[in-house]
Amino acid sequence: MSLYRNLRPLLFTLPPETAHNLTLRGLRILGAWGRPKTDDAILAQELLGLDFANPFGMAAGFDKNGEAISGVHRIGFGFAEIGTLTPLPQPGNPTPRVFRLTGERALINRLGFNNRGQMDALARLESWRKTSAQDRHQTRPVGVNIGANKEATDRIADYETGATRFAELADYLTVNISSPNTPGLRDLQSSAAAGDIMRRVRAAAPDIPVLVKIAPDMSHEDAAGLAALAVAENIDGLIISNTTLARDGVATSRHKDEAGGVSGAPVFEMATDMLRAVYRASGGKLTLIGVGGVSSAAAAYAKIRAGASLVQLYTGLVYEGPGLVGRMKAELAEMLRADGFDNITQAIGADVENAD
């Protein structure tokens, strides 16, 4: 049994946000000591003009303010995504706002884009870039997830502001129009606003990859329509998916009635089904990142075979600890070889292609 599994009962006596902040602090310390281990070459790929040593990324929401980038890389992630970051600092919703659903290996959160604002993170990312430029091991991609302030009078302008600010420092941008915890935000997915946001973000950041993060609660038809719009507006990819408002799979939890989005194991099937549908509809024209319920190499491999080029996780780490990343990389490499693949790129969308 891993050290983390021995420590987890003690950690779970703490409120979720307290435990999270302690973890961030530990990763900040860890990031100053040592470097990521070299990954198996079968996991490496070039995407979006970037080199990914492995397909596993830390999802947005974990390191909102970009405080532990080196630590995230240090535990084995191939890339990190910070944020969601809004133009102005924002405290988010009142606490408590994160709830563990231990039996379901899930979380409910209604954080509400709590962050110290883009200018705070911008200064930190600039400093990290200067330090990492001196160390070839610290060149793993860093994406920035941008959002709109709750009280903004022009939310579309907020996305444009974020893109302008991070266009020179981010390796890629993620446009988050799918959080369920900012009232009205998800309406931007299914209206003319989506195209307007894409155009303005692309114009503000013409030289770096831009992705859009969508909700698993959309119909597959609407998701395919959004994918087609992304292709038309020169957007590079989609992240599938954010948390869900559905309560399927958590009906017995004492926290099931808490407001907010569900992440973790209950989201796996719905997010993977959507991923498969969007991969088929987009015909390989978009880079897809699979998120939702990844806590094993088998789950990650399922998303890759459903069309994901990269995979992100966060909730899985809450239950499995930082050693999960290394285990998944080793096991995924074994799975790829067992299926006769020489490189991970050959497995992307394999189940969809075979079904067709």
Q: Residue 137 has what pLDDT? A: 53
The two three-digit tokens of residue 180, written as one number: 């369920």
Q: Residue 1 has what pLDDT? A: 47
Q: Residue 150 has what pLDDT? A: 97
Q: Mean pLDDT by 10-residue block, N- to C-terminus, for the chain (356 residues)?
A: 82 96 95 90 98 98 97 97 98 98 97 98 95 71 98 97 98 97 92 93 98 96 96 98 94 91 98 98 96 98 98 97 97 98 98 86
Could you tell me if 185 and 148 are in contact, meaning their C-beta atoms sit under 8 angstroms apart? Answer: yes
Count of domains forming the chain: 1
Let me know if 254 is exposed, middle or buried by CB neighbors in 10 A (0-12, 13-18, 19+): exposed
Residue whose pair of structure tokens reads 């329509």 in the numeric block: 225
Could you tell me if 329 and 40 are in contact, meaning their C-beta atoms sit under 8 angstroms apart? Answer: yes
Report d(CA 194, CA 38) in Å as an integer.
39
Residue 179, domain CATH: 3.20.20.70
Catalytic residues: 179
- What does the chain come to in residues? 356
Domain that holds residue 122: 3-355
Q: Beta strand 106-109 with 261-264: parallel, antiparallel or unpaired?
A: antiparallel
